[in-house]
Amino acid sequence: MKKRFFGILILATAIISLILIDLMLVDSGPRQQKFPSPNGEMVALVVENRMEDHPNPGCLTLTVFDADQNPRFTYPTCASSFIGWQFQWIGDTALVLDSSDVGSIRWELDESGDWFQRAGCGKEMEDQ
């Protein structure tokens, strides 16, 4: 009885191990997350570049699209897609990426419709 139990346990462990290894190997392409602006007029797309042949492998790329799905702004960050990160809109004209490895990066939309990176973009700016 004990031999049969241990045989089943070893078989189950082997199957679970193979499934976990397979799941780890499947993650080959970039993952994407969309973040609509509060008013819905823009969408920020954050792409996790996990492909080795990408110019910035392992880094996040931010692209902002207008309501007609035209890209308005693209920024290849140095923030790792493998480390913890969080993205959020601040109102309808500012974006903040908080990353465990590079800190906070903030972009703002100016009156002419151009995006620029703002220096000193810590969490204290969220209320502005």
What would the pLDDT profile of 18-74 be if each residue is shown by its tens digit? 666 555 545 555 688 899 999 999 999 988 876 566 566 678 888 999 989 999 988
Q: How many CA atoms lie within 13 A of 100 on its CB side?
A: 6
- In whole angstroms, give the CA distance from residue 80 to residue 117: 18
In this prediction, residue 106 has a pLDDT band, given cuts at 50, 70 and 90, of very high
- In whole angstroms, give the CA distance from residue 76 to residue 79: 9
- Write the CA distances from 17 to 5, 25, 27, 98, 101, integer angstroms: 18, 13, 17, 34, 31
